[in-house]
Amino acid sequence: MADRPETPLLDSVHVPADMKRLSDPQLKQLAGELRAETISAVSETGGHLGAGLGVIELTVALHAVFDAPKDKIIWDVSHQAYPHKILTGRRDRIRTLRQKDGLSGFTKRSESVYDPFGAAHSSTSISAALGFAVARDLGGQCEGGLGDAIAVIGDGAMSAGMAFEAMNNAGHLKKRLIVILNDNDMSIAPPVGAFSSYLNRLYAEAPFQELKAAAKGAVSLMPPFFQEGAKRAKEMLKGMAIGGTLFEELGFSYIGPLDGHDFDQLLPILRTVKARATGPILIHVMTKKGKGYAPAERANDKGHATAKFDVLTGKQTKAPSNAPSYTNVFGETLVDLAAKDDRICAITAAMPDGTGLQLMAERYPSRCFDVSIAEQHGVTFCAGLAAAGMRPFCAMYSTFLQRGYDQVVHDVAIQNLPVRFAIDRAGLVGADGATHAGSFDIAFMANLPNMVVMAAADEAELKHMVATAAAHDAGPIAFRYPRGEGVGVELPEVGEVLEIGKGRMIREGRRVAILSFGTRLAEVLKACEALEAKGISPSVADARFAKPLDRELILKLAAEHEALITIEEGAVGGFGSHVAQLLADEGVFDGGLKYRSMVLPDSFIDQGAPGEMYDRAGLNSADIETKVLEVLGVAQVKGKRA
Ligand SMILES: Cc1ncc(C[n+]2csc(CCOP(=O)(O)OP(=O)(O)O)c2C)c(N)n1
Ligand SMILES: CC(=O)[C@@H](O)[C@H](O)COP(=O)(O)O
Ligand SMILES: [Mg+2]
Q: 76-111: per-residue pLDDT in tens?
A: 999 999 999 999 999 999 999 999 999 999 999 999
Q: How confident is the model at residue 495 (pLDDT cuts 50, 70, 90)?
A: very high
> Residue 102's closest CA among 467, 609, 545, 546?
609
- Judge whether residue 284 has pLDDT over 80: yes
Q: How confident is the model at residue 208 (pLDDT cuts 50, 70, 90)?
A: very low
**Residues paired with 564 in a beta bridge:** 513, 595
* Mean pLDDT (the chain, rounded): 92
* 254, containing H or E segment: strand 253-259
**Section 390-400 average pLDDT:** 98
616 or 228, greater pLDDT: 616
Is 363 a catalytic site residue? Answer: no
> Residue 257's closest CA among 185, 151, 192, 193?
185
> Residue 477's closest CA among 445, 438, 444?
445
Name the DSSP class of 411.
I
Ligand closest in space to the Cα of 185 = 3
3-state secondary structure 548-588: CCCHHHHHHHHHHCCEEEEEECCCCCCHHHHHHHHHHHCCH
Q: How confident is the model at residue 635 (pLDDT cuts 50, 70, 90)?
A: low
Q: How high is the pLDDT of residue 209? A: 53
Yes or no: say if 428 and 437 are a contact pair by the CB < 8 Å rule.
Answer: yes
The amino acid sitting at 104 is S
* Range scoring the smallest mean pLDDT among 229-243, 415-429, 464-478: 229-243
Is 375 a catalytic site residue? Answer: yes
Residues 6 or more apart whose Cβ sits within 8 Å of residue 532? none
Ligand 1, residues 56, 74, 123, 187: which to mutate, most atoms within 8 A of Cβ?
Answer: 187
- Judge whether residue 26 has pLDDT over 80: yes
Q: What is the C-alpha separation between 596 and 581, in angstroms, rounded?
A: 13
* Range scoring the smallest mean pLDDT among 116-125, 245-254, 287-296, 595-604: 245-254
CA of 116 to the centre of ligand 1 (A): 20
Write the pLDDT tens digit of every residue in 290-336.
Answer: 999 999 999 999 999 999 999 999 999 986 677 789 999 999 999 99
Residue 157 in contact with ligand 2 by CB distance below 6 A: no
Q: How confident is the model at residue 285 (pLDDT cuts 50, 70, 90)?
A: very high
**Residues paired with 261 in a beta bridge:** none
548: cis peptide before it, omega within 30°? yes
Residue 305 in contact with ligand 2 by CB distance below 6 A: yes
Q: Is 595 helix (H, G, I), strand (E, B) or coil?
A: strand
Write the pLDDT tens digit of every residue in 448-458.
Answer: 999 999 999 99
CA distances from 236 to 206, 255, 471 (A): 16, 20, 65
3-state secondary structure 282-342: EEEEECCCCCCCHHHHHCCCCCCEECCECCCCCCECCCCCCCCEHHHHHHHHHHHHHHHCC
Could you identify the atom of ligand 1 that is nearest to the CA of residue 79? 9
Q: What is the C-alpha separation between 62 and 427, in angstroms, rounded?
A: 37
Q: How high is the pLDDT of residue 178? A: 98
All domains in the chain, ordered by first residue: 9-205+247-306 (3.40.50.970), 326-480 (3.40.50.970), 504-631 (3.40.50.920)
CA of 156 to the centre of ligand 1 (A): 6
* Angle in degrees, CA 328, 329, 330, rounded to 5: 90
> Residue 393's closest CA among 314, 326, 316, 471?
471
CA of 412 to the centre of ligand 2 (A): 26
- Judge whether residue 255 has pLDDT over 90: yes
- Judge whether residue 339 has pLDDT over 80: yes
Q: Give nearest CA residue, ligand 2 atom 6.
A: 432
Q: How high is the pLDDT of residue 245? A: 85
- Judge whether residue 244 has pLDDT over 90: no
Could you identify the atom of ligand 2 that is nearest to the CA of residue 429? 12
Yes or no: say if 335 and 327 are a contact pair by the CB < 8 Å rule.
Answer: no
Q: Give nearest CA residue, ligand 2 atom 1.
A: 79
195 or 204, greater pLDDT: 195
Name the DSSP class of 597.
E
> Residue 338's closest CA among 408, 423, 401, 395?
395
Could you identify the atom of ligand 1 that is nearest to the CA of residue 158? 15
> Residue 181's closest CA among 248, 242, 126, 117?
126
Neighbour count for residue 526 (Cβ, 10 Å):
15
Residues 6 or more apart whose Cβ sits within 8 Å of residue 448? 408, 409, 413, 476
- Judge whether residue 235 has pLDDT over 90: no
Could you identify the atom of ligand 2 that is nearest to the CA of residue 483? 12
Is 308 a catalytic site residue? Answer: no
pTM comes to 0.93
- Judge whether residue 221 has pLDDT over 90: no
* Burial class, 490, CB count within 10 angstroms (exposed 0-12 / middle 13-18 / buried 19+): exposed
Q: How high is the pLDDT of residue 192? A: 85
Q: How confident is the model at residue 7 (pLDDT cuts 50, 70, 90)?
A: confident
Q: Which residues are annotated as a binding site for thiamine diphosphate?
A: 79, 120-122, 156-157, 184, 293, 375
Q: How high is the pLDDT of residue 229? A: 44
Q: How high is the pLDDT of residue 220? A: 55
Yes or no: say if 13 and 85 are a contact pair by the CB < 8 Å rule.
Answer: no
Ligand closest in space to the Cα of 355 = 2
Give per-residue burial for 612-641: e unless 16+ CB within 10 Å, then b: bbbbbbbbbbebbbbbbbbbbeeeeeeeee
* Range scoring the smallest mean pLDDT among 312-316, 321-325, 489-493, 623-627: 321-325
Q: How confident is the model at residue 211 (pLDDT cuts 50, 70, 90)?
A: very low
Q: What is the C-alpha separation between 348 and 378, in angstroms, rounded?
A: 7
Write the pLDDT tens digit of every residue in 144-153.
Answer: 999 999 999 9
Residue of 108, 136, 289, 463 marked catalytic: 289
Yes or no: say if 376 and 163 are a contact pair by the CB < 8 Å rule.
Answer: no
Q: How high is the pLDDT of residue 222? A: 53
Q: pLDDT above 70 covers what percent of the chain?
A: 91
Q: What is the C-alpha separation between 123 and 117, in angstroms, rounded?
A: 13
Q: How high is the pLDDT of residue 240? A: 36
Q: pLDDT above 90 covers what percent of the chain?
A: 87
Task: Write the ipTM.
Answer: 0.99
Q: How high is the pLDDT of residue 239? A: 36
**Section 354-364 average pLDDT:** 97
- Helix, strand, coil percent content, the chain, rounded in steps of 5: 45, 15, 40
Residue of 33, 210, 375, 625 marked catalytic: 375
Q: What is the C-alpha separation between 240 and 261, in angstroms, rounded?
A: 33
Neighbour count for residue 535 (Cβ, 10 Å):
7
CA of 571 to the centre of ligand 2 (A): 21
Q: What is the C-alpha separation between 178 and 270, in angstroms, rounded?
A: 10
Write the pLDDT tens digit of every residue in 172-195.
Answer: 999 999 999 999 999 998 888 888
Provide the H-helix boundaries in 92-142: 125-137
Residue 428 in contact with ligand 2 by CB distance below 6 A: no
CA of 155 to the centre of ligand 1 (A): 9
**Residues paired with 517 in a beta bridge:** 568
